[in-house]
Copies of this chain bind each other. A is one copy, B any other.
Amino acid sequence: MSKTAGAIAAEGLRASALTDDVSFLLARANAIALAAGNAALAEHGLKVRSYSVLVLTSGEARPSQRELAEFLRLDPSQVVSLVDELQSRGLVERTPDPTDRRANVVVATDAGRALVALARESARAGEERVHAHLSLAERETLAALLRRLAFPGE
């Protein structure tokens, strides 16, 4: 009875105005993906935040902290503590930018690169679980559309 009523209300919520709202769907999908990602990365002592920094700093890009902040949409001060933590674990280093002595270019150490290789597998597996309902082609078009929202500058 209250079970039925609950089902009706849940049904009603799913049919509500928000369900057509891309921003709401974005928020909910993100919440789910974030939880899954954090769970998947926990075994390596990482969260999606620190994992992201590790990925970005083990590539060719050699980003400064400011660039990390912009890319991850974080306050510069948040990047400070993020890098502090990764550095204290020996996963990342602050190296002086030869062209601008104000800036630190953050670069993953060998240990960081080794860890990110493992973590990448866990992240991929976790994501797989979240996106299991979508075909490969669907994931591609989803990624393409999201990319246009996430990087409006082109």
- Interface residues of chain A, those whose CB is within 8 Å of chain B, are 1-2, 5-6, 9-34, 36-37, 48, 52, 55-56, 59-64, 67, 70-73, 97, 99-100, 103, 105, 120, 123, 127, 130-131, 133-134, 138-139, 141-143, 145-152
- The answer to whether A133 touches B148, judged by C-beta atoms less than 8 angstroms apart, is yes
Contact status of A147 and B19, CB under 8 A, knowing A30-B30, A31-B73, A67-B6: yes
Oligomeric state, in number of copies?
2
Chain B: CB-nearest residue to A148: B133
In the complex, what residues of B have CB within 8 A of residue A31's CB? 73
CB<8 Å pairs between A and B, sample of 10: A2-B100, A13-B56, A14-B151, A23-B34, A25-B150, A27-B48, A28-B151, A29-B146, A130-B149, A142-B145
Nearest B residue (CB) for A17:
B55
Contacts of A145 in B (CB 8 A): 134, 138, 141-142, 145
- In the complex, what residues of B have CB within 8 A of residue A61's CB? 9, 11-13, 15-16
Residues of chain B within 8 A (CB-CB) of A28 are 72-73, 150-151
B25 adjacent to A147 (CB under 8 Å):
yes
Residue from B11, B22, B29 within 8 A of A127 (CB atoms): B22
| Chain B residue with Cβ nearest A20 | B143
Q: List 17 additional contacts besides A29-B150, A30-B30, A134-B145; criterion CB under 8 Å.
A: A2-B100, A12-B59, A13-B63, A18-B56, A21-B123, A22-B131, A23-B36, A24-B48, A25-B147, A26-B29, A26-B33, A27-B33, A28-B150, A29-B30, A31-B73, A32-B150, A138-B145
